[in-house]
Structure 1
Amino acid sequence: MSSQEWWDLVAADGTPTGRTFRRGAPGWPHGLFHLIVAVCVRRGDGAVLLTQRAPGKEFALGWEFPSGSALAGESSRAAAVRELQEETGLDVLPDALTPVGRFTETSALLDLYIADAPAPTDLRLQATEVSAAEWVTVDEVERRVRAGAMAPPWVARLDTLWPGALAAMRSAQ
Structure 2
Amino acid sequence: MRSLMIRPGGPGDVGAVLTVFDDAVRWLVARGQPGQWGSTPFSEVPETVALAEEYAASAGFFVAEHAGRTVGVLVVGQSSEPVPAPSEPELFVKLLVTDHSDAARGVGSLLLEHARVLAVTGGVGLLRLDCYAGNGGGLVHYYERQGFTATQTFTVDKPDGPWHGQLLERRLPGRR
**TM-score after normalising by structure 2:** 0.26
**Whose helix fraction is larger, Structure 1's or Structure 2's?**
2
Higher relative CO (CA 8 A, sep ≥ 6), structure 1 or 2? 1
